[in-house]
Chain A
Amino acid sequence: MYNFNFHAASSLDDAVAKLGAAEDGTVMAGGQTLIPVLKQRLANPTDVVDLSGIAELSGISASGNGVTIGAMTTHAAVANSSDVPAALRAVAEGIGDPQVRNRGTLGGSIANNDPAADYPAALLGLGATITTNQREIAADDFFTGLFETALTDGEIIKSVTFPNATKAAYAKFPSPASRYAMVGVFVAQAADGVRVAVTGATDCAHRGPKLEAALSANWSPDALDGITIPPDHLNSDIHGSAEYRANLVIVMAKRAVAAAG
């Protein structure tokens, strides 16, 4: 770790101000991604602004239309909340281990946008909306590439709103070592129709239009029989080749549909 200035922000405005004043600042949520990066000297920010003291950034509130979850809400809090729909709870429950779930946050996960992260699939699959200190962003516009999002410099995520879905489920195939998603598929019958989102398979979570079309016609695992995913742009590493991931996309999509009922 290199030296940096540490600031505990007391409010969102305070955080924005401190970040703005820093030469090369970064915010810290649960620190589960940021701290390992700092420890290995892979990043060298001048200032770290800690969001954990900002009450308005955490919490879960359900309305008739859906649920809004504060950016600083931990995975464990989401997994254990009766206000959160079961499919989303299951996503949070399947992230990392108890230590990670009790520190890691929704905002940190989606801001980081790891290609193998779980939450991005849920946000895309449910058609969520991300609220920042500056604007609202649809999930479909938020995840833009490998560790890339639509967030601009100094923009801080406040919360995410997930609309209700009639049916939804997430099926994750964990990579054996890291247990991040080698492939994860979130399926939903959402307000605007069938949504399918895939994570782990490519450089960034994305929707699966072919699968959505098949499931819109027939909401059943069998509807996906015969569909093949071209492996050309899929991730490939020592744990799973592109061909293997292509197979997993279909298998996990079927399992998600079966689980959603």
Chain B
Amino acid sequence: MVENGIGASLRRKEDNRFLTGKGNYTDDINRPGQTHAYLLRSPHAHATINSINISAANSAPGVVAVFVGQDLLDDAVGGLVCGASVTGKGGEVNKAPPRNVLTIDKARFVGDPIAVVIAETLAQAKDGAELIAVDYTELPSVVSTSGADQPGAPQLHEECPDNVALDWELGDKAAVDAAFASAAKTASVRLINNRMVTNPMEPRAAVGEYNSGTDEITLYVTSQNPHVHRLVMSAFMNIAPEHKFRVVAPDVGGGFGSKIFTYNEEAICAWAAKKINRPVKWTADRSEAFLCDAHGRDHVSTAEMAMDADGKFLAMRVSSQANMGAYLQLFSIAIPTLFHGFLLAGQYTTPAIYLEMRSVMTNTAPVDAARGAGRPEATYLLERLVDVAALEMGLDPAEIRRRNFIKAEQMPYQTPVVQCYDSGDYDASLDKALANADYDGFAARRAEAKGRGKLRGIGLSAYIEACGVAPSAAVGSLGVGVGLWESAQVRFNPTGGVTVFTGTHSHGQGHETAFAQLVTERLGVPVENVEVVHGDTDKGQFGMGTYGSRSLPVGGVAIANACDKIIAKGKKIAAHCLEAAEDDIDFAEGNFTVAGTDKTMNIAEVAFTAYVPHNYPEGVEPGLDEIAFFDPLNFSFPAGTHVCEVEVDPDTGTLEIVNYTAVDDFGVLVNPMIVEGQVHGGLAHGIGQALLEGCVYDDDSGQLITGSFQDYCMPRADNLPSFNVDYSPTIPIHNPLGVKGCGEAGAIAAPPAVINAIVNALGIKHLDMPATPEKVWRAAQAAG
């Protein structure tokens, strides 16, 4: 057994710097001669821009430059792009309305940037922005998901008639309709998946710098994927060629998806730094984060289930509308389609599934991937529908799930919605969750609560997600414009320390620890001798970044494969030094040993020999430094059952989560402590969505009502119970490390578990998220 390898709950290596204030975030970076950028944003949800007068701003004290959209166009700077194109009904590819870095003709949401003022100080930049005179003609706006495509709705883009970007369908409609026609029972629910503001603790920031000596641009930026940022800004925005463009994502304080995407402000900092030949810095304030960070979710759906007389699912039919906001963001068109539709089978054998998904444009901030990205929407819809089905059938929610589960022995299982699950034992995780939650004792607890005037309810959620994104050819065939492999370089230094370069990026996930443990396990070097480096396009090889719970399932395998190359080369060197045949060399726990002897050489000695090759095998290159790229063969499929128990105060509608039990299948756990932390964070996110969070725009004015924490309710510690977390692992056949990913599970599983519990407490069919005290109170009053 290697110490501190896979399975050790090692304290996080990175926490020393985070907890002692030594983190280095983008806003901590200040460059000599730096200027400050401030963006003038549209105060209107929808308006024609007739003219922009910048002359007063240009001559304001401290102002270095003022730019509008045309200035970037004149420099051939491209607009922001959507990196996916999805083919919809009738073979029609989604509309891709153009988006300039600074909008020129029209403002399409409150916060749409119109001009940038660059000044010696931020206050001067703000003062300058106040002097810009924009002549707007206000237009009526539409913010609602279901209203966007209605007759007479204000139109956002000429390219999108009726504000429709895409009409997409999935599955066999005729088979589904036929199953409904002959079903013994059907269940149906109409639900809203509420819009979320991701709200990472660190707001977005960027510092651009230009070196006229080398003609290179450096961009420090809050990014989950610095190479992808560079690629997009080079290939589509023409900021600088990749070999003359360095993107650094230093410590990043949370992303939750919103820092995947390339944004206007970042492009401006990079471009303007060269234009004015001085560093340019921009940091979002919290209000800008609310207005302009990509939001998440925002679906309106009707879901129906057809069943036989025993409650066996025969077919499922879903009609949904997804809000894309005012412009398509980097991956937005793929989220309600591919990442949502492909998960609609859930853990069940439902043989026929049909989804119609319409993606609409509205006068709101763009919507894109946010923790779970499409999978929380699918899981919420399905797990709510299953509870409604149980109600219709008069079956216990656990029982109806059991009757419809894909059984462990059916794995691998091809669903009717593209995905083929490679492992899972859903009965096992359900049974364990019910036992851990004392499901059988619930009736007594409910009765006891009733004596105290409280309504107690219990709810289940049996979720599945597709993580480890993603096999490149598969996503490529579906229209995603990039490969989703991952890379790693494992470099022995001559004195035995190991530096690992990963193409993933850590913004809170603890990769510096977990990845080091992987290397320790594989190579037998002490964990303190392994340093993980990420986030700088000049330091490591190209990589795709972190999202979709991919870092360990994809990036981790690349690291393991690079380690294996090190071992293979090390065997050659050791065989030479130990005067044995290469085939006779065994490697274990850091030592190369001649089989059946005590002749051995530590990997550190091998590394030294590789760099000082005085006595060295012929034909072998010096050095011990290997790169591996790994393209996964399949997604990974974390799954599990969560059980939530709530108590409602019917007089006020407030509720308390009195019990929350999670049983997850993440495969192998590399660092159980970090995994538990990820589960807790995910649950906070999911419970936040279910009870507290909801982004609200005013229907008439299009103004963002939840523009600060005064109105947008984030979950706080006292909203959350002490979680009961456990695991029920199965081993995926496609992942060489046996890992599945864990970062999104809680955010996916929790919303239906919470709402199912509330609905159960109140004895009603459905309640939309967020279940605010008033909504719960009204439902309790109506239910008597």
Q: Are A247 and B123 in contact (CB under 8 A)?
A: no
Docked complex Cα distance between A240 and B713 (Å): 13
| Bound form: Cα–Cα A241–B777 in Å | 12
How far does the Cβ of B616 sit from chain A's closest Cβ, in whole Å?
Answer: 63
22 residue pairs bridging A and B, Cβ less than 8 Å apart:
A1-B123, A2-B123, A40-B287, A173-B652, A176-B692, A176-B772, A177-B692, A177-B706, A177-B714, A178-B711, A238-B696, A238-B705, A238-B711, A239-B711, A240-B773, A240-B774, A241-B774, A244-B773, A244-B774, A244-B777, A247-B652, A251-B651
Residues of B within 8 A of A251 (CB): 651-652
Q: Does A224 contact B (CB under 8 A)?
A: no
Q: How far is the CB of B657 from chain A (nearest CB, A)?
A: 14
Whether a CB of chain A sits under 8 angstroms from the CB of B236 is no
Among A1, A173, A176, A248, which residue has its beta carbon within 8 angstroms of that of B713? A176
Q: Which residue of A lies closest to B130 (CB)?
A: A41
Residues of B within 8 A of A173 (CB): 652
Smallest CB separation, B769 vs chain A (Å): 13
Residues of chain A with a CB closer than 8 A to B713's CB: 176-177
- Specify the chain B residue showing the minimal Cβ separation from A241: B774
Q: A238-B705, A240-B774, A247-B777 are in contact. Are A177 and B711 (CB under 8 A)?
A: yes
Which of A245-260 touch B at CB < 8 Å?
Answer: 247-248, 251
Q: How many A-B residue pairs have CB under 8 A?
A: 42
Give A181 Cβ to nearest chain B Cβ, in Å: 13
Judge if B126 is at the interface, Cβ distance under 8 Å: yes
Collect the chain B residues with CB atoms within 8 Å of residue A241's CB.
774
Q: Please, how many angstroms separate the alpha-carbon atoms of A160 and B706 in the complex? A: 35
* B126 near A41: Cβ-Cβ < 8 Å: yes
Whether B773 lies near A176 (C-beta < 8 A) is: yes
The residues of B that contact A2 with a CB separation of less than 8 Å are 123
Specify which of B123, B287, B772, B778 is in contact with A239 (CB 8 Å cutoff): B772
Q: What residues on B are CB-neighbors of A239 within 8 Å?
A: 711, 772, 774
Contact A177 B774 (CB under 8 A): no
- Which residues of A sit under 8 angstroms from B705, Cβ to Cβ? 238
- The 6 A-B residue pairs with the shortest CB-CB distance, nearest first, are A177-B713, A244-B774, A178-B710, A176-B713, A251-B651, A240-B774
Taking the complex as formed, is B709 at the interface, i.e. its CB lies under 8 A from any CB of chain A?
yes
Q: With a CB–CB cut-off of 8 A, which chain A residues contact B692?
A: 176-177
Interface bin, chain B: 20 to 34
Closest B residue to A178 by CB, please name it: B710
* B25 lies within 8 A of chain A by Cβ: no
A161, B401: Cα distance in complex, Å? 64
Query: What residues make up the interface of A, taking CB atoms closer than 8 Å to B?
Result: 1-3, 40-41, 173, 176-178, 238-241, 244, 247-248, 251
Query: What residue in chain B is nearest A254 (Cβ atoms)?
Result: B651
What CA separation (Å) do A1 and B121 show in the bound complex?
12
- Nearest Cβ on chain A to B773's Cβ, whole angstroms: 7
Per the bound structure, the CA–CA distance linking A239 and B709 in Å amounts to 13
A3 and B126 alpha carbons, distance in the complex (Å) = 12
CB distance from A159 to the nearest CB of B (A): 30
8 A-B pairs besides A176-B692, A244-B778 with CB distance below 8 A are A176-B713, A178-B710, A238-B696, A238-B705, A239-B711, A240-B773, A240-B774, A244-B774
CB distance from B86 to the nearest CB of A (A): 33
B413 at the interface (CB under 8 A from A): no
Docked Cα-Cα span, A41 to B129, in Å, equals 13
B residues in contact with A244, CB < 8 Å = 653, 773-774, 777-778
User: B751: shortest Cβ distance to chain A, in Å?
Assistant: 17
A177 near B777 with CB under 8 A, answer no
Residue B611 is within 8 A (CB to CB) of chain A in the complex: no
Is residue B136 within 8 Å, beta carbon to beta carbon, of the partner chain?
no
Instruction: Kindly state whether residue B67 has any CB partner on chain A within 8 Å.
Output: no
B126 adjacent to A177 (CB under 8 Å) = no
Question: CA A241 – CA B696 in complex, angstroms?
Answer: 15
Q: Which of B266-315 contact A (CB under 8 A)?
A: 287
Residue of A nearest to B773 (CB): A176
A1 to B651, CA, bound (A): 44
Tell me if B712 counts as interface (CB < 8 A to partner A). Answer: yes
Q: Which of B711, B714, B772, B774 has the most CB of A within 10 A?
A: B774
User: Which B residues are in CB contact (< 8 Å) with A3?
Assistant: 123
> Which of B613-657 touch A at CB < 8 Å?
651-653
Q: Which residue of A lies closest to B653 (CB)?
A: A244
- Residues of B754-784 contacting chain A, CB below 8 A: 772-774, 777-778
Query: What is the CB-to-nearest-CB distance from B246 to chain A, in angstroms, rounded to a whole number?
Result: 34
Contacts of A178 in B (CB 8 A): 709-711
CB-CB contacts below 8 Å: B374-428 with A: none
Residue numbers in B under 8 Å from A248 (CB-CB):
652
Q: How many angstroms between the C-alpha atoms of A95 and B123 in the bound complex?
A: 32
Chain A proximity of B690: nearest CB distance (Å): 13
A5 → B minimal CB distance (Å):
16
* B712 engages A177 (CB within 8 Å): yes
